[in-house]
Amino acid sequence: MIVAIVFSGIAWGQQAKADGLTGSAGRGGQLYRRYCVYCHGPHGDGAGENAIYVDPRPRDCTKALFKCRSTASGMLPSDRDLYESITRGFYASGMPSWVALTKQQRIDLVAYVKTFSPRFKQESVAAPVTIPAEPASTPQSVQRGAELFAKVNCWSCHGKEGRGDGPSAATLTDSKGNPIRPYDLTGGTRFKCGSSDQELYRDLVNGLDGTPMPSFSDALKPDQIWDVVHYIHTLQHGGTAIVIADSDQDK
């Protein structure tokens, strides 16, 4: 009871907005303690009593480093980003979809999650990264994407055939030092932050904060990022991997 009172006192000042609704951290705290605390912990640090059984480990919300964002690498997520994460959940993880909650309840949870990090009071949320119009996917763009996949070392984590078995895969850790595996991009898999071309482009540009997945906004031009998107989606839908010879990977 004392813990609940303290949490509510901390929470009341934070709000969130999405879908025309305004979230209340006070109400969100009640929902968090009912549904979320067992994995994410009472302090939002990902150290709940069930956390050791979850792979990958639950998100530490205190650092405000979130994977799925419309904003650039290192920037705070928008309320909409957090709302979508709660709504959709994360495929192939312990984080389920909470679409069964009402929209109001989900935006209330967003407001409460924001109380875990002082960054939400200290920093402004940046504008979403612009996603340019997508060019047509062609055999030529897929080939270029395969060459770029090799050139910028995507294969070192994801493997030469995109199966998540690259030479660095076994050594990767998240921002808290917990082991984390790179994604298997093949065989009809769904991606954690959405599987549309635009969502995959966004993730390549922004990176997935808190994980080893970097932003490629400096390494690749927009048209090159689209080429990589087209190649990855070829793998996703059962296409044959285009393995670039070792001698070609430094071109």
Of 239 and 229, which is predicted with more confidence?
229
* Mean pLDDT (the chain, rounded): 91
Residue with tokens 């031009």: 221
Share of the chain above pLDDT 70, in %: 92
Is residue 125 over pLDDT 90?
A: yes
The per-residue pLDDT for 246 is 64
Separation CA 145–CA 180 (nearest Å): 25
Which residue do the tokens 């879908």 mark?
19
Confidence of residue 248 (pLDDT cuts 50, 70, 90): low
Mean pLDDT of 212-223: 98
Report the Cα–Cα distance between both ends of the chain, in Å, rounded: 63
DSSP H or E segment with residue 23: strand 21-24
Encode pLDDT of 190-214 as tens digits: 898 999 999 999 999 999 999 999 9
Could you tell me which residues come within 8 angstroms of residue 20 by beta carbon, excluding any fewer than 6 positions away?
A: none
pLDDT digits (tens, 9 = 90+) for 69-120: 999 999 999 999 999 999 999 988 899 999 999 999 999 999 999 999 999 9
Q: What tokens appear for 184 in the block?
A: 């298997």
Residue 14: its pLDDT value, please? 74
Lowest mean pLDDT among 5-14, 59-68, 205-214, 216-225: 5-14
Domains contained in the chain, CATH given: 2-122 (1.10.760.10), 139-248 (1.10.760.10)
pLDDT, position 13:
58
Taking the C-alpha atoms of residue 59 and residue 46, their distance in angstroms, rounded to an integer, is 5
21-35, 41-55, 114-128, 235-249: segment of lowest average pLDDT: 235-249
Q: What is the pTM of this model?
A: 0.88
Beta bridge partners of 18: 21
Pair type for strands 15-18 and 21-24: antiparallel
Residue whose tokens read 């920093």 = 123
Nearest one of 193, 175, 174, 160 to 92, comparing CA atoms: 193
Confidence of residue 249 (pLDDT cuts 50, 70, 90): low
Q: Which of 97, 75, 78 is nearest to 86 (CA)?
A: 97
Average pLDDT over residues 136-158: 98
- What is the reported pLDDT for 11? 46
